[in-house]
Amino acid sequence: MSRHRKRIGRRALLATAAVAAGAVLVPVTVRTATADTAHNARTAITMSSADATGTAGTAFGAGRSPVRALERAAHPLRTTEPGGSTADLRALSTMVGDAEVVGLGEATHGSHEFFTMKQRVFRHLVETKGFTTFALELSWSGGLRIDDYLQTGKGDARRLAEEVFANSPWEREEFVDLIEWMRDYNRHHPHRTLHFMGDDIGAPAVDDAFFGRVTDYVEENHPEALPRLDELYTGLRPIDDVFAYLGKPLAERKRLAADAQRALELVSGLKGSGEAFAWAGQNARSIAQTARFLTMNPDDPDTLAGFQRFRDEVMAQNVLWWQQQTGGKVLLSAHNDHVGYLAGDPELYPKTQGSFLRDAMGRRYLPIGFTFDRGSFLSKENALGGEWKKYTVGAAGPGRNEATLDQVRYRDFYLDTRRAPAAARAWLNVARPTLGIGTQFPEEPRDVALAKSYDVLIHLHEVREADKLKP
C-alpha cells in the first residue's frame, strides 16, 4: 500500500462512498494531478497507431508477432448495436457454455458501444441460453425499483431512469432503451419474465420505503418482533445522504452498524419460510451491508483497500443470492476491475467481485472483458461532485495491449482467451499497460494480463460517449 498511501487521503475515502447514480457506488482513488501527471497520462494514451507499428513483435518476442495467432482466435462482430441478426455471436454461445453468471465488463463507465453491446449480448443470451437477469453495480434497492417496473409496468421507464440513475454515467439513453426492451419482452412473455437487479451497497440513500420492505413483513407476519426491530433501526432509518451520514462520529456509525447486524439476525431467526421471508431477510442483509460499509474512517487511508474488498465481496454475495433464489442465469454488468479475476490496480482492489464468484461457482462463472483502441467516453475531473463530461483519447501507444489487438484485421472482434492458439495465449498471459477509466480522468494505463483476468475478451476499434437522456 505504500504507493497508494502517498496519494489516498480523506477525499479518496469519501469518494469510495461517492454516489455516481441514484443507488450506485463508484470507487475511485482521488489524485491531486500535477501538470506533469496529467500531461504524462495524456501522452501515454494518445500516441498514434503509426508509433505502435511493429511493437507487437517486440513485446511478444523478437520476430514473433502474436497478431496472426490472435486473428486465428478472433471472431468478427457484425455490429455493437442490439437488434437484427446475432449469427456473429454463435461462437460466443459456445464460449459461455454452461455458465450461470456471465460478467460483462467495460473499459470506461460511459461509452455508447459498451452499453449497447451489453444489451446485444444480454438479448442473445436470453434467446439462446435462457438468461433472465441483467445485474448492474447499482444499489440493491435501486435495482428492486427497476425490477418492480419490469414486472408490473407501473410507472415510466424514462422517469425511473432519471431517478435511479441520477448523476451517474448510466443516466443515458442506452439504459432507457435496455429497460424498455426488457419491459416489452415481459409483456410478450408473461410466464418467463426478465429481471433487473442491483448488486451494490445502498447509496446515495437507503430510503424509508426500503426499510419498510423489512419492517412491513415483520409487522404482518411476526408483529411481536416489530418493537425490537424498530428499536434496532432507530437512528439508522432512513439514510438520506451517505455524505451526511459519514459526518457522524465513527463510534456512532459502528454502533448503528452493529444494530443493523442484530436486526438482520432477528429477521433471519424468525420462524418463517417461503419467498416473502427470504426477501425480507435479504433486504435486511442489504441494510446491514451498507451500514457496515459506512463504518469506513475517512481519516484513515490505510483502510481503503479493505473496504473496497468488502464491497466486491458484497456484490458477489448478492449476485449469488439472487441466482440461487430465482434459479435464473445472470448477466452481470460492471467495470472490468470488478468482473475480472484480477483488477488492473490490485493494491486498491485486492480481491474482485469476479474472483469471489469464481471461488463460489468455479466454471459456472465466466468473465468477459472489454478493450478499446481510441474514442470518447464520460468521466469527471473530480470524483466528488461535478458533471460527467466527454473526454477523447487517441490510438493506443506502443507496448499497450490495445495497440496489438487493434492490428487484428477485424475492426471489432471477440476471442476466447482459454482456447486461443498457443502463441496467442502466451501473449495474452503477459501483463502490459491497458487503459481502464472510471470516475475520474486523466487515468494512466495499468498492467493487465488479459488471459489472467478474463475468459473472453471483446476488443472494439473505436467508441464514443454515451447519449444523454432526452427531455
Give the cell for residue 201: 451497497
Q: What is the per-residue pLDDT for 60? A: 52
Query: What is the distance between the alpha carbons of residues 410 and 72, in angstroms, rounded to a whole number?
Result: 11
Answer whether 374's CB lies under 8 Å from 395's CB. Answer: yes
Angle between helices 250-268 and 274-293 (to 10 degrees): 170
- Rounded to whole angstroms, the Cα distance separating 102 from 229 reads 37
Residue 3's closest CA among 346, 435, 440?
A: 346
- Residue predicted with more confidence, 85 or 24: 85
Sorting pLDDT into bands at 50, 70 and 90, what band is 37? very low
pLDDT > 70: percent of the chain: 86
CA distance 40 to 391: 16
* CA distance linking residue 15 with residue 384, whole number of Å: 6
Q: What is the largest CA-CA distance in the chain?
A: 76
Q: With contact defined as beta carbons under 8 Å apart, do 205 and 162 qualify?
A: no
Of 23, 21, 1, 433, residue with least CA distance to 12: 1
Residues 6+ apart with CB under 8 A from 276: 217, 221
| Average pLDDT for 158-175 | 94
Average pLDDT score over the chain? 89
The pLDDT of residue 29 is: 38
- pLDDT classification of 243: cutoffs 50, 70, 90: confident
In this prediction, residues 277-306 reach a mean pLDDT of 93
pTM (global) more than 0.85? yes
The 10s digit of each residue's pLDDT in 297-323 is 877 888 889 999 999 999 999 999 999
Considering only CA atoms, give the Rg of the chain.
22
Residue 154 region by backbone torsions, left for phi larger than 0, else alpha for psi between -120 and 50, else beta: beta
Amino acid at 31: R
Dist. CA 228–CA 236, nearest whole Å:
14
Least confident of 46-50, 205-209, 240-244, 377-381: 46-50
Q: Closest Cα partner for 415 from 75, 178, 172?
A: 75
Peptide bond into 238 cis (omega under 30): yes
Once rounded to an integer, what is the mean pLDDT over residues 35-44?
Answer: 38
Q: Is 360 helix (H, G, I), strand (E, B) or coil?
A: helix
Gap between the Cα atoms of 81 and 434, Å rounded: 25
Read off the pLDDT of each residue in 268-291 and give the average, rounded to a whole number. Answer: 96
Lowest mean pLDDT of 61-70, 306-315, 358-367, name the range.
61-70
Q: Which residues does 335 contact at the CB level (< 8 Å), separation at least 6? A: 105, 106, 109, 137, 436, 438
Contact 26, 210 (CB under 8 A): no
Summarize pLDDT for 201-226 with one digit per residue, the tens.
Answer: 988 889 999 999 999 999 999 999 99
Q: What is the pLDDT of residue 327?
A: 95
Contact by Cβ (8 Å): 380, 42: no
In order of their start, the domains of the chain are 2-203+315-463 (3.40.1660.10), 208-301 (1.20.1440.30)
SS3 429: coil
Residue 27 has pLDDT above 50, yes or no: no
Contacts of 241 (CB under 8 A, 6+ apart): 204, 205
What is the per-residue pLDDT across 88-129, written as a single tens digit (0 to 9) for each?
999 999 999 999 999 999 999 999 999 999 999 999 999 999
